[in-house]
Structure 1
Amino acid sequence: MIQVCLLKDGQVVSGGEELLSQDGRKWIDVQQPTEEVLNRLAERFGLHKLAVEDCLHLDQRPKLEEYPNHQFIVLQGFTTATKDVCDLTLHEHHFFLAPEWIISVHDFPFAGFDAVMKRVRDDPKATLERGTDFILYMLADGLVDAQFPILDAFSDELEDLEVAIFEKVEPQQLQRIFEMKRMLVQVRRVLSPQRDVVGLLSRRGIVHVNERTTLYFRDVYDHLVRLYEQIDAGRDILGNVMDGYLSMVANKTNDITKQLTIFATLFLPLSFIVGFFGQNFEALSSTGYYYAMWVMIIGFPVALVLWFKHKQWL
């Protein structure tokens, strides 16, 4: 059976300190790692100092590295702290995998880890006895599956934004488009190398990963492919939304320009008529010229409006 030991802030909060020195399979989960704790684990389990150094600097990219007595795996994922889909929190998880033990290191609590921990404790025979690599699969699967609700919410908001743009263009919509674009680039930058890492774990011949467990990693790899396809589809739709926004802004500008041009065209002949009949000579003071002036003032605009409608400019 695998013994579960949970460390947080350098203190053993579950499982007991004696588990670190006992023989047998172990799963040790370290939250908010400190140099002292990792050095103690490195001395006990022979962890490589380069891998330990990576755990102390949570800015690594997803990767798989092989060391003499263990595998070092880095996986990442996102959660949303608020309803804003662009407000993402990056979760970086480090794993040390050996036949008899697995050590998971992460800074923030993660709901997927809690679910795996509960599953392990509730049904140890169906989970733990399959090996430490199966624990790694369950953790990786929980980390990857947590990305689907985020991208689904992204797609829903993108569709609503597209509808809102065609109803009424507003300046804040452009700002939101760029926020969603940055969010999509951030997710893609993480999931792209992670897909390669899980692809390596799904192949046969990886040290400390049983052949039967590679089948489960293939399922995780398939989920990452679906996520990547969803990201590509989101990029295309986001580009279409941007084009739609620019088109609506251009149409609105054209409508304003057309209206101003029509007003200018209507008042141009009126300015000429008023200027012509406003000349100071005696002939223009007769009644005929007076009526002719008003006929032209009223007739010219009406004729221009009818002509505009005939040309379908109005």
Structure 2
Amino acid sequence: MNEIDKMQEKIVTLETKLYRQLGSRFMEHWHAFKEELSHSERIILKAVDVLGMFITKSKSNTNFPLNEFNDLHEHLERTLRTNVSANDQLNNLYNYYTLRSNDRMNRSIYILTIVSIVFLPLNLVVGFFGMNTGGLPFQDSTMGTTYAFISMILFTAILAIAVFLKIERP
């Protein structure tokens, strides 16, 4: 029971660190704790089963200290429940870690999408004006490059405003 109590304290410490800041070594600690809890759960489960069979076979003996062994069996079952509870707490921490990681990744993908939305039309316009063909808009004007540049800026601004207005609406 003492080892499981120490493990629960370590889990609480890990939980506190995770809630404060998403650490890079979280998964290493989580995996080590999970492995240790799984190992102890298997051992305690086997001990509960063996002690239960021992009590069942030995209770017919009149000199058998049944109450003491039942107390020990109950203590092992309580330790097993504590172990399972710590394991559940670790699972909850993993779910929270995954949620935060997914939120960060979604935010990054969202920003990259917005940047792509803004620069893709500009890329098309630059490609269009980069062709060496005749009949392009603003070709004959002395201010043609300035007009093309201003039209690209206006197009980008209008597109950006439309995207941000679309984002603000639910």
TM normalised by structure 1 equals 0.44
**In structure 2, what is the Cα distance between the partners aligned to 1:150 and 1:198?**
20
Matched, 1:218 2:73: no
| Structure that is richer in helix per residue | 2
Matched, 1:183 2:36: yes
**In structure 2, what is the Cα distance between the partners aligned to 1:151 and 1:277?**
70
**In structure 2, what is the Cα distance between the partners aligned to 1:188 and 1:312?**
49
**In structure 2, what is the Cα distance between the partners aligned to 1:298 and 1:176?**
50
Matched, 1:196 2:49: yes
Once the 2 structures are TM-superposed, how far is the Cα of residue 171 of structure 1 from its aligned partner?
4.4
Q: Secondary structure at the match of 2:167?
A: coil
CA deviations on 1:7-45 (whole Å, 9 max, x unpaired) are xxxxxxxxxxxxxxxxxxxxxxxxxxxxxxxxxxxxxxx
**In structure 2, what is the Cα distance between the partners aligned to 1:182 and 1:274?**
57
Number of matched pairs = 163
Q: Who wins on radius of gyration, i.e. which is larger? A: 1
Counterpart residue number, 2:124: 272
**In structure 2, what is the Cα distance between the partners aligned to 1:309 and 1:207?**
82
Greater RCO, CA 8 A, separation 6+:
2
Once the 2 structures are TM-superposed, how far is the Cα of residue 181 of structure 1 from its aligned partner?
1.4
Distance 1:310 1:179, change over 3 A: same
**In structure 1, what is the Cα distance between the partners aligned to 2:15 and 2:140?**
63
Residue of structure 1 aligned with 2:159, choices 300, 304, 313 = 304
Q: CA RMSD of the aligned region, Å?
A: 3.0
Once the 2 structures are TM-superposed, how far is the Cα of residue 229 of structure 1 from its aligned partner?
0.7
| Structure that is richer in strand per residue | 1
Distance 1:165 1:188, change over 3 A: same
Unaligned 5+ runs, structure 1: 1-146
Distance 1:186 1:158, change over 3 A: same
CA deviations on 1:101-141 (whole Å, 9 max, x unpaired) are xxxxxxxxxxxxxxxxxxxxxxxxxxxxxxxxxxxxxxxxx
CA deviations on 1:69-92 (whole Å, 9 max, x unpaired) are xxxxxxxxxxxxxxxxxxxxxxxx
Unaligned 5+ runs, structure 2: none
In structure 1, give the amino acid aligned to 2:72.
V
Once the 2 structures are TM-superposed, how far is the Cα of residue 167 of structure 1 from its aligned partner?
4.7
**In structure 2, what is the Cα distance between the partners aligned to 1:166 and 1:239?**
15
Distance 1:279 1:163, change over 3 A: same
Counterpart residue number, 2:96: 244
**In structure 1, what is the Cα distance between the partners aligned to 2:97 and 2:69?**
41
Counterpart residue number, 1:257: 109
Counterpart residue number, 2:11: 158
Counterpart residue number, 2:27: 174
TM normalised by structure 2 equals 0.74
CA deviations on 1:166-204 (whole Å, 9 max, x unpaired) are 554444222222211110111112111222344444973
